[in-house]
């Protein structure tokens, strides 16, 4: 089952944690398994410090007995562990189904090593099956929609469930369906150039290693 593979991948990735590390914890369904596993093994890392990428992760970590540090006081981390919506053979990824890609990218960029955990359904030959989420300032919604459409996207305002979804920063998300993305690097530059677009879900250079589980077998992919 998919959840079994998520759990396997998440547990395998914990081999990356060492005592004394500063570890960022991502957001999403696969990370729920990682958070539970970290909570069960906290005694192995008595001096490690953990940092959450979202309020949802903070709540889950708190429930698992994990003390969460204040990331605003940190410039660098040793490790970040997170899920992905898609990952290609070059370890380029799409993230953001959990709505936290802006904070996740900050944490991933601060970390010396970023680890992705995923089930086999997230492994793709080319990015674009999943939409690319773009976090936008509410003031810029229509403007950003027009700019994204001009880039070839079909932008859809994320709802939750009967009103516009808001990120932890109070912003909106446009889930942008591009289809197969021929040049992810160029698209990332184009997205970053849109005024009012505060972050996007293309993680093209941040991921160092991925633990992907399929049918009960975990594969480790290194950059």
Residues with catalytic roles = 104
Give the separation between CA 98 and CA 101, rounded to whole angstroms.
8
Residue the block writes with tokens 């849109």: 194
On the CB side of 120, how many CA atoms lie within 13 Å of its CA?
11
Backbone phi, psi, residue 138, to 5° = -55, -35
Three-state secondary structure call for residue 76? coil
Instruction: Summarize the chain as % helix, strand, coil (round to 5).
Output: 35, 25, 40
Radius of gyration of the chain from Cα atoms? 17
């Amino acid at each position: 089952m998919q959840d079994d593979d998520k759990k396997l991948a998440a547990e395998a990735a914990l081999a990356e944690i060492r005592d004394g590390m500063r570890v960022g914890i991502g957001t999403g369904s696969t990370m729920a398994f990682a958070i539970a596993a970290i909570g069960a093994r906290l005694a192995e890392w008595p001096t490690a410090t953990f940092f959450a990428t979202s309020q949802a992760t903070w709540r889950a970590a708190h429930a698992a007995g994990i003390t969460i540090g204040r990331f605003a006081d940190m410039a660098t981390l040793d490790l970040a562990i997170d899920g992905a919506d898609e990952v290609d053979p070059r370890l380029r990824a799409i993230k953001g189904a959990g709505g936290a890609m802006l904070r996740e990218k900050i944490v991933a960029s601060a970390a010396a090593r970023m680890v992705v955990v995923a089930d086999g359904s997230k492994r793709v030959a080319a990015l674009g099956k999943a939409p690319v989420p773009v976090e936008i300032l509410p003031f810029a919604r229509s403007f950003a929609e027009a700019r994204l459409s001009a880039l070839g996207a079909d932008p859809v305002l994320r709802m939750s469930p009967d009103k516009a979804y808001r990120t932890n920063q109070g912003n909106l998300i446009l889930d942008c369906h591009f289809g197969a993305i021929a040049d992810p690097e160029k698209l990332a530059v184009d997205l970053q150039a849109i005024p009012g677009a505060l972050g996007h879900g293309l993680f093209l250079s941040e991921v160092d290693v991925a633990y992907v589980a399929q049918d009960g077998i975990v594969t480790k992919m290194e950059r």
